[in-house]
Structure 1
Amino acid sequence: MTGPAEPQVVLVCGPAGSGKSTHARRLERAGRVRLSFDDEAWARGYRTHPLDAEAAAEVHAHLHTELVRLVRAGRDVVVDTSFWSRASRDAYRAVLAPTGAPVVVHLMDTPRDVVLERLAARRGTGGDDVVVPPDLAVAYLDGFEVPTPDEGPLVVVPGVAAPES
C-alpha cells in the first residue's frame, strides 16, 4: 500500500497501445491491486474490441464491484482501461464517491506514431494484445477525450518506453 499522502485509486487513461498496462503493472509491483478491463474481458471470452454495449457494461459492473470492495478493504488500486471519455472517468469517480477514496488520473502521453506501431504489432495473445485494425486504431486516437486538470488530480506519464517483461 502507498503512503497516506498518495492517491488511493489511480485511473490509467489512454488509447489502446499507449502503454497503460505496462504502467499499471509498475504500479501493481509497487503495491496496488490492478483491475484490468481488457484482462477481465479476455477471461470472459471476448477476443475482439470494441465490445458491444451489453458486454462492456457487464465488465465495467464487475470492475466497479471489485474496486469498491478493495477500497473498502483498505487497498490501493489501479484501474487499467482506456477511460477514453470524460464520462467514463466520471462514472468511476461516481462509483467511488461513497467511499471517499481519493482518485487521480494518470494520462499516458504517447506519440501517435508509437501507438499505431504498437497496435500494428499486436497478435491477439491476451487481454492487452487484442488486435486492433488500422482504421479502428485511428478512430480510437481521434475520438479520445484528453483529461484536463479541471476533472481533478492529473499526472501525465510519458508513454514511450518499451513494454517490460
Structure 2
Amino acid sequence: MSRDQVVLVCGVAGAGKSTLARELESDGYVLLSFDQTAWEAGHREHPVPPHVADEVHARLTGRLLSLVADGRDVVVDTSFWSRASRDRYRTVLAPTGVVPVVWFLDVARDVVLARLARRRGAGPDDVLVPPDLAERYLDGFERPTAEEGPVRVLTGG
C-alpha cells in the first residue's frame, strides 16, 4: 500500500486523533496540530473564538504548503468536524496536486464521553470539554463520506 502524503485526522474530541497523529509522527510524518498551536498561543478552552480558529488554520495551512513543497509527509490533527473544514484543506492543497486522505476515527459515543470525562486540562491533548459541549460536538459532527474524496475509516474504542 502506498503511503498517504497528507493525512487529515478526523473525529470528535476524545476519539483518539492526537494519539494516532503522534503514531504517524513517529513513522516520519510531520505533525501539525490545531490544539497544540492554539495551546502555544495561550488558548486553554474550546471552542476557541472564530478569529483565533481562523488564525490557527492559516498557520497550519501555510506550514502544510511549505512542507508539501519540500516533499514531506504531513499529518494534520484537528477535528475536521464538518465537510466544509475538510474541503478547506483540500482546496488549499489542490494547486499542489496532492490529494489528502481523511483518516476518520469512528469511536462509540459512550467511549468518547468517558474519555472526555477523564480529562483534566493538563495540556493541548487534554483540553476540558464539559459534558453538554461534548454532546453538542457529537450531535453536530458531519461524518466524512467517500464522495468527498479518499477516506479511511478506523474503528476503535
User: Do the two structures share a fold, i.e. TM-score over 0.5?
Assistant: yes
Aligned to 2:25: 28
Aligned counterparts of 1:6 and 1:131: Cα–Cα separation in 2: 33
Shift of 1:109: 1.1
TM-score by length of 2: 0.98
Partner of 1:122: 119
Aligned to 2:16: 19
The alignment partner of 2:7 has SS state of strand
Q: 1:49-76 CA deviation, whole Å, 9 max, x = no partner?
A: 0011100000000001000000001100
Code of the aligned partner of 2:120 = R
Match of 1:88 in 2: 85
Please name the residue that 1:134 is paired with.
131
How many Å separate the matches in 2 of 1:158 and 1:125?
27
CA RMSD in angstroms, aligned pairs only: 0.9
Give the residue type in structure 1 aligned to 2:33.
S
Q: Distance in 1 between matches of 2:156 and 2:99?
A: 24
* Percent identical: 64
1:13-162 mapped onto 2 (5 Å cutoff): 13-160=10-157
Amino acid at match of 2:29: R
> Per-residue displacement from partner, 1:85-129 (whole Å, max 9, x unpaired)?
000000000111111112100000111000000001000011110
Q: Structure 1 segments of 4 or more deviating over 2 A?
A: none
SS of 2:125's equivalent in the other structure is: helix
Amino acid at match of 1:54: H
Number of residue equivalences: 157
Task: Give CA deviations for 1:3-45 in whole Å, capped at 9, x if unaligned.
Answer: 8x32210000000000000111111111100100000000000
User: Equivalent residue for 1:163?
Assistant: none
Deviations 1:115-158 (A, max 9, x none): 00000100001111000000000000000000000011110112
More displaced stretch, 96-105 vs 145-154: 96-105
CA contact (8 A) 2:9 2:75 kept: yes
Unmatched runs of 5 consecutive residues or more in structure 1: 161-165
Given residue 70 of structure 1, which amino acid in structure 2 is its aligned partner?
L
Work out whether 1:9 is the aligned partner of 2:6: yes
